[in-house]
Structure 1
């Protein structure tokens, strides 16, 4: 039951943080929406900051795993595609989280400075891998641009594209990111090789 309650609290916090903003959402409001007292909410999450961390942790955990796995892969077109697909899938699964950062970026950055720094470091790590070994400035710029293309998953609703089917969104953004990186067509499964 505790796991279900924690997840319900997290879901309500995500909804409120992304629609009202982190600073403008009170723990009392979250507790009332869940049907708990504020004291009961503290049993599950010790602070609003710990709740914010729980809300955004799936993205950080996903990116951390991708970065760790990518370190063992040769930088080949099929492996680049594999890494880009995984990054995109993490973003697709966690689309609602962007509202937290868009609604109140300054509040989130101040309250969760280490979280912000972790996300930037993970992003740099993925960009570094996508740029390849001994990258040129152009390689690094293409890697940054590809990650920005993937980020369109998170902002598509802002531009009136909330009704685009997830499969179409995935297909279009994957191909766009791969085009930016200069990665050709569909990979053969047997082409993926480890670096070690």
Structure 2
């Protein structure tokens, strides 16, 4: 593939993600993405026919990363050590600017995202991931702790309003909380 085309596709994804995180999926148009990039709508349309197509490509790497973690965890015993390492790996996956914006987009555009194909895939992957955070026959409270540990990681990835800490400090604090929730 032409390197310029790949670079343009990447720029479109980054700008679209910025706009989705800032104003939501529904309120963002291909025209706004083009304007922010300083190109025509036709140039954006050449690479992506719809916003949904952009969203799908945005989440490909995140979904693949979750798949790797799930595959790893399935091969391990369902115990505290595996849960803790699963959370560490997921936290590392969430580290980084683009992923943090994707998580913010997920949190703030839940209604719109649920209706997209990428939303259904993300829901499925997160269900698999959180399912591995509970031992078979674990109490309801134990199962909820596993799910809440993932939410803690998501919040640590993007929630910075009123928290005076670096992105790394927030991520580490969120991981600490997630590990506490995962239990001993």
TM-score tier, shorter chain, comes to 0.7 to 0.9
Q: Which has the higher contact order (CA 8 A, sep 6+)?
A: 1
Q: TM-score, normalised by structure 2?
A: 0.85
Q: Which residue of 1 aligns with 2:41?
A: 38
How much does 1:6 deviate? 0.8
Kindly report which structure 2 residues correspond to 1:1-196, keeping only aligned pairs within 5 A, or say none: 1-93=4-96, 94-110=99-115, 112=116, 114-157=117-160, 159-161=161-163, 163-183=164-184
Q: Note if contact 2:78-2:135 (Cα within 8 Å) is conserved in structure 1.
A: yes
Q: Note if contact 1:91-1:153 (Cα within 8 Å) is conserved in structure 2.
A: no
How much does 1:131 deviate? 0.3
Greater Cα radius of gyration, structure 1 or 2: 1
**Distance in 2 of aligned mates of 1:141 and 1:20:** 31
Q: Secondary structure at the match of 1:73?
A: coil
Distance 1:58 1:153, change over 3 A: farther
**Distance in 1 of aligned mates of 2:43 and 2:68:** 33
Q: Note if contact 2:55-2:118 (Cα within 8 Å) is conserved in structure 1.
A: no
- Farther off after superposition, 16-25 or 5-14: 16-25
Instruction: Report the count of equivalent residues.
Output: 179
1:128-150 residue CA offsets vs partner (Å, 9 max, x unmatched): 11102343333312212222222
**Distance in 2 of aligned mates of 1:63 and 1:128:** 13
**Distance in 2 of aligned mates of 1:70 and 1:102:** 25
1:89-111 residue CA offsets vs partner (Å, 9 max, x unmatched): 2222211113323443323333x
1:103-122 residue CA offsets vs partner (Å, 9 max, x unmatched): 43323333x1x322222221
Q: Name the Cα RMSD after superposition.
A: 2.0
